[in-house]
Structure 1
Amino acid sequence: MSYYPDLHLYIDGQWRKTPDSIAVLNPATEAEIARLPHARQSDLDDALAAAEKGFRIWSRTAPRDRAHIIMKAAALMRERQEEIALSITAEHGKPLPQARLEVIRGCEFLEWDAGEAVRTYGRVIPSAPGIRYVVHHQPIGVVLGLAPWNFPMSQPCRKVAGALAAGCSIILKAAEETPAGALHIARAFHDAGLPAGVLNLVFGAPAMISDYLIRQEPVRLVAFTGSTTIGRHLTTLASENMTSVLMELGGHAPVIVCEDTDPEKAAISSAIRKYRNAGQVCTSPTRFFVHESIYERFLDAFVKRAAATVVGDGMTPGVEMGPLANERRVPALLDLIEDAHAKGAELRTGGSRIGNRGYFLEPTVLANVPAHARIMQEEPFGPLAVINPVASLDEAIAQANSVPYGLAAYGFTNRADYIDRMTDEIEAGNVSFNTLEASLPETPFGGVKSSGYGREGGIEGLNNYMIIKNISHSMKIV
């Protein structure tokens, strides 16, 4: 593929190949599109040494100069939008229009954090005469960024943006299934004149890389997006050295549809968002709790829109949903569907694999799913929606909070008192009403309970990449 890049590691400002490599596959065709070099321990040692050197340079670079380079890299990625989007669709499978939007989203993360780089203000605390207390912010140090495969470019951008805006250096390990997005980021920063060592990019055996680098003293923050199981393991490793963590983990987003809303409009909006990125989104609306008075109207409209979703190769014009990003997701989702159906759930549409080439699964809707079905507790991370009736807002909130996750939640209502109740009582880090947009670059994003720790985005996100130092100054020795 002429538009798919030649893959390398990026260490200390240099592109690097290694003797070991694995295949990168197109999930729509299962064809090999590239070979990805795997880092050895010696490569990781080089990346660590480079990041230490890069931190010494970058932490002493004026915030305005840091912002200028970040903005220049973002501008280069905007210019290269089509090239980057084509490579994302090739490795991930998402429709090309969604890949184009992902490139812009990644650039927006960089641009917003670049603007904040010059506004990491401290404060002076009022005190007694002759004594002054000053709160001072400093970059935390070398960051290990671990990015997932579902958004190959925008998720790595979010971690790079926070680290570099704060004055940190970063070793980025992006997903081996979808490496091109991160490589395009490194290429843009290289071309923008980022000092060598400030950004390093490695790939390889995930457990080996994370286990080795987290234990190294120079690594002061582990920023991870991925599953709760892996996040807990990495947090345990980090705790051995008291290393800070930023964990954006799994979700199982509830949607409460109240009796005063338009069920058809809510259903169509929900179905479109549910099958975006083939449902492989941590904030994807998944468990729908619909008031019984409008349940059938909502369910019918949702099922019709789900069944009408155009599924195919993401390169094909008009396709709305591509394949799942990797082979293991297909049997995992089919197992959840089979379990729910066996326990009494109604399969209203979908439920089957499409064809025998590529990782395609039909957009699926399960209705009246019993509480003991696995899907009611396990995040599907795929094109699978659960729609159940509820008799009251009390019941809906109880059902929404019945899982160990609390990343995103949604509500459809026009009543201010309902919004107030859901705002106060839903256990989630992000709650949206009459929209299924969970976060923007300027808003803090993260979860509660098993959905993680810390925030990305907004001023709260940038603070994770900094240490807060209290300075006490007396005018005389006391």
Structure 2
Amino acid sequence: MLNPSHDFELSTPPIYEEKTQAIARELLGETTKKRAPFAKLRDQFRWDEKLINWTMDNPSLRVQLFRLIDCLPSLTTKTEIACHLQEYLGDSAVELPESLKGLLNFTASNSLLGQIAAITISTAVETLARKYIAGATLKQVLKSIVQLRNQSMVATVDVLGEAVITELEAQSYLHQYLELMTQLTEASQGWPVVPQIDTADGEDLAKVQVTLKLTAFYSQFDPLDIEGSQAKVRDRIRTLLYRAQEVGAAVHFDMEQYRYKDSTLAILKQLLMEKEFRNRSDIGITLQTYLRDSYHDLKDLIEWAKQRSHPITVRLVKGAYWDQETIIAGQNYWPTPVYNHKSSTDANFERMTELLLENHEHLYAAIGSHNVRSQAHAIAITQTLNIPQRHVEFQVLYGMADNLAVSLAKQGHRVRVYCPYGALVPGMAYLIRRLLENTANNSFLRQNLTQTPIEELLAVPQWGEGDQDGSDVEPMPIPSSDMTITQINPAANTNYAITPFRLDAIDAMDTVRQQLGQQYWPLIDGEQIQTETKIPSVNPSNPAEIVGTVGQINIVQADDAISAAKIAFRTWKQTPVSERVAILRRAADLLEARRHELNAWMVFEAGKPLQQADVEVSEAIDFCRYYALEMMRLDPEMVYDVVGESNRYFYRPKGIVLVISPWNFPLAIPTGMTVAALVTGNCALFKPAAVTSVIAAKLSDIFVDAGVPKGVFQCIPGSGSTVGAYLVRHPDVQMIVFTGSKAVGCQIYADAAILQPGQKHLKRVVAEMGGKNAIIVDESADLDQAVQGIVYSAFGYSGQKCSACSRVVVLASVHDAFVARLIEATKSLNVGNAADSGTTVGPVIDAAAQNRIRDTIDKGQTEATLALELPSPEPGYFVGPVIFTDVVPQSTIAQEEIFGPVLLVIKAQDFDQAVAIANNTNYALTGGLYSRTPSHIDRAKADFEVGNLYINRSITGAIVARQPFGGYKFSGVGSKAGGPDYLLQFLDPYTVTENLQRQGFSPIDIDRCK
């Protein structure tokens, strides 16, 4: 588990500091030599240089330029480029340099001036990319390597675009690396030996080294599925290491996002202990010093290396994903894995450098930094300890700190340059990271260019506030722009990259597995009531396995529950809000405490893969905490007094609320509906879906344990067509809260509208009834992002979410490329038992759902082209993901809700048509857009007819108080769940006016006389 406060030791002992200062000043003098006058003159006319300079001086322009650069590879025509140039930079809020204003001085994107502007900006960006990318082709990268060798520097080559999303791409990367090593080593036969880089301490070193990331070799790499990921990756890495040994190439494994760190280290430690690889010393691994636990990781690697008896190389870098790691942690409410201050990263880099070099006999060191002090510090230690040349080298990135690299090489050090290789499109993310590094205010390169005093540049890095003692680790809530909005500390989803959490989840699965098959009875007036009718609840992954047997109430018992609720309501409605709120908060705590157990029950009974289950527990917790705070906000009476008259505005509960919950979110949705009823002072009759009634029983236990009085909450599983219908029409039920199908919801709405004998009120119905949700993909979309988001939105929990993506509307210009990747990404999904950690698509809920979906697929083949249908495992209620193409927007499958893993691809000729197609259904629940065109984003915000619109992300997984959830048309009626007006539906407002005058005076008059 993340523990940032361990292992803190003083940095830079005096024994190293004096040498560090002297070496750094010498290097700095070499790297800051004045450029020739002709070079300065040339740069005045280079747009790529201008772009860098502008971004350093103007933060708002920096953001817009980087966004433009990010989407440029997706734009295929000069007209598109010119249009986006104006959209990104034409904003009056962005202050532009005069020369850039001149570039934008065109009225039409397809005009001659527009075409010139497009050529200018695209050429500048391409030139900029070439600065940091060693070559788009093998010929180009070989030329770059030879040029480096001529300067006594060696290369490591990394293939760009390693974020694979399909197994086809993973296999392709493996073959690409196998071929790359072969071609590089063949070319190296003609390279003359350069002793400074090709030999050390009498040992010949590999002339060729490649760098790669483990996740590039398995598209479904997942820390939760550590064993499955290890098995897939190990086999492919073994193949790569065998080839490397055959041709004589060295291999270095890079590090990427934090969630993969522990898995990467575990896989490599295990692999490199195998007999075939244990004596290899031409293999390396990277550690990122901006991670709070990286120092501990290095200590652990040293102990491992001592057991291995043969050193590998550890490359120290500061890390390239700081913004991303911070954002991901913030969005998930996880502890921040990176240091909050750049100075802390530098300080950690130095103490890790000392630790690594002081253990050079066990681990070789590669010091990767563009900070002159960081490199000088490493050299000072190397000289002080007289470390052999083979045991240490110095590394920089291609195109960055070139002068530093040359200076280090001239001093006789072995310098390795990290050389990215590949096309511009997959390299754009890499380019953006380099630009961020170059232009950041705290970048050493930036500070050096802006002539920061040398004493500041070379000062000993200090730990930032909170970084050393760990006080800044906990997630910081993102403040709302409107502080009147109720805010909570949301529950954090489980981070399964943290080993103890993953082990807790496994233990809970084993524990719950031992509890399957038990009996569960309804809860009426605080007692477990036995019933004549019982039904089994089965595991949809394995229907032969009974999860539990659940008693079903009859009409008489339904009347008993109504009677108990009527009696309990008299007291409950008078219970102070503070007491009701305390119960909700206890329920939230119990949900958190039983998280892993509840997850396991959902895996077994709902067929929900573990990560899908876990976010549901978080949502249930958030409902409790949010509605508790919301009721406190609504509780105080509102005062509208005037002289001589008191005017007060109150809320009071409605009475008995019937909660009819769905099976697809068997914990979160019933929790939200029930606690909303309870905290507002109503009594709740909870009628769960039959197929997930065991989970309902577990939730009932939590409400009872939290202190909900008897009769106030009752769990009454029973037949929907008999007991459910009876309760909907019952004259003593004031309100029905329903989530489910449109057909049932409309019937409830109609039945509730019929006045029953003895009924003295009109029933309120809140109903959420599904969707036919669409995502639009336009020509500027990041297709990697779009494919991943759509696959998750369509096939997560087998498409059994009312928010799931059913239709994807793709512009014609990118349709074919998108469909090809969509199909391959879907093929790569693991379909299987929800209890298997590697499963991404589990079963559908029952045999009826399975048959209905299969019938829909059969009908769909008469209306569209079946582009993909994955196999359905047996036994179990499985339906493999299905993709239809050539879909007509008006067809039956494009209009009717399917509620299964079936995705329809519809082609649109332009964005207007895409919006029209997306809106052309009877539903309006969720929708999405993948686009990097500002005008398209604005248009979607204005005209996309949905309750929840998601831009450049998946369309499922709404978070309480962050994305209040609900739609309109036939998607439902009522206010959004998890939003600021949801509780008002459970309350009746009333006003009390009192005339305070007595014989011509009022209390206010008396107060004035005092």
TM-score, length of structure 2 as denominator length: 0.46
Equivalence for 2:954: 436
Structure 2 counterpart of 1:309, from 819, 829, 835: 829
**Rounded Cα–Cα distance in structure 2 between residues aligned with 1:331 and 1:367:** 22
Kept in 2, the 8 Å contact 1:377–1:403? The answer is: yes
Which residue in 1 is equivalent to 2:720? 206
Q: Which residue of structure 2 aligns with residue 339 of structure 1?
A: 859
Question: Are residues 1:462 and 2:983 paired?
Answer: yes
1:348 is matched with which residue?
Answer: 867
Equivalent residues in 2 for 1:15-414 (5 A)?
Answer: 15-31=528-544, 32-121=546-635, 124=638, 129-241=643-755, 242-343=762-863, 345-350=864-869, 354-414=872-932
Deviation at 1:472, TM superposition (A): 3.3
- Matched AA of 1:328: A
- Amino acid across the alignment from 2:984: N
| Cα shift at 1:124 | 4.5
Return the offset for 1:126: 5.6
Look up the equivalent residue of 1:457 and give its one-letter code.
Answer: G
Q: Which secondary structure does the structure 2 equivalent of 1:470 belong to?
A: strand
The question of whether the paired residues in 1 share the 8 Å contact of 2:605 and 2:695 is answered with no
CA distance in 2, matches of 1:432, 1:469: 38
Out of 963, 986, 992, which is 1:471 matched to? 992
Deviates more, 1:220-229 or 1:372-381: 372-381
CA contact (8 A) 1:406 1:451 kept: yes
CA contact (8 A) 1:272 1:305 kept: no
SS of the aligned residue for 1:30 comes to: strand
Corresponding residue to 1:445 among 949, 960, 965 = 965
- The structure whose residues are more often strand, as a share, is 1
Structure 2 distance, partners of 1:29, 1:318, is 17
Q: Deviation at 1:82?
A: 2.0
Q: How far apart are the structure 2 equivalents of 1:178 and 1:445? A: 22
Q: What SS does the corresponding residue of 2:710 show, helix, strand or coil? A: coil
Equivalent-residue separation in structure 1 for 2:748 and 2:821 (angstroms): 42
Helix, strand or coil at the partner of 2:980: helix
1:59-101 CA-partner distances (Å, limit 9, x unpaired): 2111121111111122112211222222211111111232233
Show structure 2 runs of 5+ residues with no match: 1-512, 756-761, 999-1010
Instruction: Using the TM superposition, name which of 269-278 and 431-440 deviates more.
Output: 431-440
Matching residue's letter, 1:270: I
> Aligned to 1:259, what secondary structure does the other structure show?
coil
Structure with the largest fraction of helix: 2
Distance 1:460 1:304, change over 3 A: same
Evaluate the alpha carbon distance shift between residue 125 and residue 189 of structure 1 in structure 2; reply closer, same or farther with a 3 A threshold. Answer: closer
% of aligned pairs identical? 28
Q: Could you tell me whether the CA contact under 8 Å between 2:927 and 2:955 is conserved in 1?
A: no
CA deviation profile, 1:373-406 (whole Å, cap 9, x unmatched): 3210111101111112212221111111111111
Aligned letter for 1:63?
V
- Deviating more after overlay: 62-71 vs 114-123: 114-123
Alpha carbons 1:287, 1:387 under 8 Å: kept: yes
How much has 1:412 moved relative to structure 2? Answer: 1.7
Bigger shift: 140-149 or 88-97?
A: 88-97
3-state SS in 2 of match to 1:101 = helix
AA matched with 1:346: T
Question: Compared with structure 1, are the counterparts of its residues 225 and 295 closer, same or farther at alpha carbon in structure 2 (3 Å cutoff)?
Answer: same
Measured after TM superposition, the shift of residue 30 of structure 1 is 1.2
C-alpha distance 158-124 of structure 1, shift in aligned 2 (>3 A)? closer
In the alignment, the residues of structure 1 paired with residue 680 and residue 899 of structure 2 have an alpha-carbon distance, to the nearest angstrom, of 32
Asked whether the 8 Å contact 1:444–1:460 carries over to 2, the reply is no
* Partner-residue secondary structure (3-state), 1:51: helix
CA contact (8 A) 1:264 1:297 kept: no
CA distance in 2, matches of 1:202, 1:440: 28
Structure 1 residue 130, shift from structure 2 partner: 3.9
Residue 205 of structure 1 and its aligned partner are, at CA, apart by: 1.0
Report SS of the residue matched to 1:217: coil
Secondary structure of 1:94 counterpart: coil
CA contact (8 A) 2:844 2:900 kept: yes
Q: Counterpart of 2:414?
A: none
| TM-score of the superposed pair, with normalisation by structure 1 | 0.94
Equivalent pair of 2:925/2:967 in contact (CA under 8 Å): yes
Distance in 1 between the 2:890 and 2:777 partners? Answer: 22
Contact residue 785 and residue 952 of structure 2 kept, 8 A: no
Task: Supply the distance in 2 between the matched residues of 1:214 and 1:294 (Cα, whole angstroms).
Answer: 49
In 1, Cα distance between equivalents of 2:785 and 2:527: 52
Quote the offset at 1:436 in angstroms.
2.3
Letter in 2 for 1:388: I
Instruction: From the superposition, tell whether residues 471 and 361 of structure 1 become closer, same or farther in structure 2 (CA, over 3 Å).
Output: same
Does the 8 A contact of 1:13 with 1:200 survive in 2?
Answer: yes
Indicate the larger mover: 93-102 or 191-200: 93-102
Question: What amino acid is aligned across from residue 631 of structure 2 in structure 1?
Answer: A
Counterpart Cα distance in 2 of 1:444 and 1:223:
17
Structure 1 residue 303: Cα displacement: 1.4
Counterparts in 2 of 1:125 and 1:434: CA distance versus 1, 3 Å: farther
> Which secondary structure state, in structure 2, belongs to the residue aligned with residue 459 of structure 1?
coil
Distance in 1 between residues matched to 2:837 and 2:557, nearest whole Å: 41
Name which of structure 1's ranges 119-128 and 419-428 shifts more when overlaid on structure 2: 119-128
- CA distances 1:30-63 after superposition (whole Å, capped 9, x unpaired): 1133221110112111111122222222221111
User: Is the CA contact 1:85–1:96 (under 8 Å) kept in the aligned structure 2?
Assistant: yes
Change (3 A) 1:294 1:196: same
- SS at 2:585 equivalent: helix
Q: Deviation digits for residues 13-37 of structure 1, max 9, x if unmatched?
A: 1122211111211111111332211
- Residues 336-356 of structure 1 show CA distances to partners (whole Å, capped at 9, x for unaligned) of 22222222x22221165x144
Provide the C-alpha distance between the structure 2 equivalents of 1:413 and 1:127, rounded to a whole number of angstroms: 52
Q: Per-residue deviation at 1:159?
A: 0.7
Q: In 1, distance between residues paired with 2:640 and 2:575?
A: 30
Instruction: Return 5+ residue gaps in structure 1 as ranges.
Output: none
CA distance in 1, matches of 2:741, 2:889: 23
Q: How many pairs are equivalent? A: 476
CA distance in 1, matches of 2:799, 2:861: 20
Counterpart residue type for residue 3 of structure 1? Q
CA distance in 2, matches of 1:400, 1:131: 54
Contact 1:445/1:457 (8 A) holds in 2:
yes
Cα distance, 1:6–1:85 mapped onto 2, change above 3 Å: farther
One-letter amino acid matched to 2:851: P
| CA apart distance, 1:372 | 4.3
